[in-house]
Amino acid sequence: MSPFPRLADPLTDGQVVLRDYAERDIPEILIAYQDDPRLHQRLGQNRPPSGAELGSRAERESAARAAGEYVTLTILEPGSDTCRGQIRVEDADSDHARAALAIWLVPQARGRGLGARALRLAGEWLLTTCGLARVELLAEPDNASVIQAAQAAGFAHEGVLREYQRKRGAGVDMVIMSLIPADLS
């Protein structure tokens, strides 16, 4: 996979801002896990990460980005540098020119359209600047907020992948949604 370019300037639509993930985001991320006890489960983790684990992730970010493996973007509100959530671009596949998005927001930022706007910005960046042909998003069927945000961002609902992932020792259905260049017009 080609490297994901660093953002020379943050991406913004005037209502939400995306910038490259930085270690300075770690305190807000730790607070988000405290404020939402289910966040780690929604993100497919066995437990919330520690500060040291988040620091290690931040250190690996540059190499993973250069290798085209994944990239993490921090969600901000205009005029603030406080992390309100993140979008992670993962499962990059150069043969098929596609990648998947995962998103989370701090509880205080939910329900205000930030997620939908952030998904749209990230999707547009991946389809235009990064040259991907398809951006996917998977969500558990009961995660209505992520599904609604993706639909508001222009993602098409494609269906349900039955028992697609293994979580907590069981098969879990996943809704699959996608954004392609034709969706941007």
pLDDT of residue 185: 82
Intervals of the chain under pLDDT 70: 1
| 39 occurs within a structural domain | yes
In a domain, 160, yes or no: no
Task: Please check whether residue 177 lies inside any domain of the structure.
Answer: no
SS3 124: helix
Look up residue 76 and give its amino acid: L
Any domain includes 146: no
For residue 1, the model assigns a pLDDT of 63
In a domain, 1, yes or no: no
Token digits of residue 56: 């290690």
For residue 32, report the phi and psi dihedrals to the nearest 5 degrees: -60, -40
Within a domain: residue 26? yes
Does residue 175 lie in a domain region? no
72 φ, ψ to 5°? Answer: -120, 130
Three-state SS at 88: strand
Does 153 map to a domain? no
Which domain CATH number covers 16?
A: 3.40.630.30
Residue ranges making up the domain that contains 115: 11-135
**Total structural domains in the chain?**
1
